[in-house]
Amino acid sequence: MKHFTKNTLLAAAAVALTLFQSCDSNDMDYDYSLMFPNAIVTVKPVTDGEKEYFYLQLNDEEKLWPEDNSYHPYKDKEVRAFVNFTETEMPAGVEGYSKAVKVNWLDSILTKRTVLFEEDENITVSQKYGNDPVEIYKDYWTNVEDGYLTLHFYTRWGNSGISHELNLVTGLNPEDPYEVRFTHNAHGDGTYYEGDGIVAFRLQDLPDTKGETVKLTLKYDSFDKEKTFEFDYCTREDWSSGGDTSSDGE
């Protein structure tokens, strides 16, 4: 299981702080828009014969060609990430991309596969994966794109440094395989502060929608009751053909 602490959720802010501290405080021309992400993307590694590179999937339709993509920022892993980019001129001979960009910085998001709950009379979903409350923001960062469910949420933290655990559980409704549950296990951490987090779940293990758009129903325990979100979901095209472009996330 992958875990996270409060500090790991502030990665984008840390990048921004580093940029801020590294610039000359007297430089009034500094572009402070570089401090913040202007998109969430999927970082996709590609091996084409002996050539290896990566590109950025901005949404279901748009592909970004990085100005310098001759390295693998996350090796062979496909992950969701915050990015700050600036549009540049498309190089000659490059086709199939929406735009070329200069990547000012990338910062990976915790990216996980779903977990299948296999019914066991001796244990419940809550006992196995936890039911500590969260609240999900209805904002730009919470979405289903490129085969991933990305969730922007907040929860409560203590000062213990205990790692929290997040999962997206499937297999809970025999009549609807697209009903999933977002779970949070604080592992006994205190509840002194509220803080944001972001996590992305790879939906490849859900049944193939065969090109159709279906309703993905997300359930979770908030601070006062169980809540439900609905998203439009269609299996990613390369997954429909049985392909897999990477290993698991982070």
pLDDT, tens digit (0-9, with 9 covering 90-100), for 97-115: 999 999 999 999 999 999 9
Domain shared by 190 and 160, yes or no: yes
In sequence order, the β-bridge partners of residue 47 are: 52
Q: How far, in Å, CA of 151 to CA of 106, rounded?
A: 18
pLDDT in tens, 31-43: 777 889 999 999 9
Same-domain pairing of 105 and 139 = no
Identity of the residue numbered 233: Y
> Both 225 and 120 in a single domain?
yes
Are 156 and 167 contained in the same domain?
yes
Give residue 26's pLDDT band: very low, low, confident or very high (50, 70, 90): low
Q: Which of 97-101, 237-241, 245-249 is predicted with the least confidence, judged by mean pLDDT? A: 245-249
Residue 115 and residue 162 in one domain: yes
CATH of residue 122's domain is 2.60.40.2370
- 116, part of any domain: yes
Give the pTM.
0.85
Provide the CB-side half-sphere exposure for 30 (13 A, CA): 14
Q: How many domains does the chain have?
A: 2
What span, in angstroms and rounded, lies between the C-alpha atoms of 56 and 65?
7
Mean pLDDT, rounded, for 24-30: 56
Q: Is residue 170 part of a domain?
A: yes
| Residue 103 shares a structural domain with residue 117 | no
CA-nearest of 181, 47, 39, 203 to 111 is 203
Whether 155 and 87 map to the same domain: the answer is: no
Tell whether 39 is covered by a domain. Answer: yes
Query: Is the domain of 138 the same as that of 215?
Result: yes
The answer to whether residue 248 is domain-embedded is no
Q: Is 32 found in the same domain as 11?
A: yes
162 close to 110: Cβ distance less than 8 angstroms: no
Give the three-class secondary structure for 213: coil
Q: Could you tell me if 16 and 130 lie in one domain?
A: no
In this prediction, residue 30 carries a pLDDT of 65
pLDDT value at position 35? 86
User: Domain range for residue 194?
Assistant: 111-240
Please state, in angstroms and as integers, the Cα–Cα distance from residue 50 to each residue in 46, 53, 70, 243, following that order: 10, 10, 12, 20
pLDDT digits (tens, 9 = 90+) for 177-195: 999 999 999 999 988 888 9
Segment (H or E) for 245: none
Q: What pLDDT, on the 0 to 100 scale, is given for residue 75?
A: 85
**How many CB atoms are closer than 10 A to CB 143?**
17
Residues 207 and 169 in one domain: yes
Domain C-terminal end among 90, 109, 128: 109
249 in a structural domain:
no
Nearest in space to 151 (alpha carbons), one of 190, 114, 199: 199
- The answer on 8 and 127 residing in a single domain is no
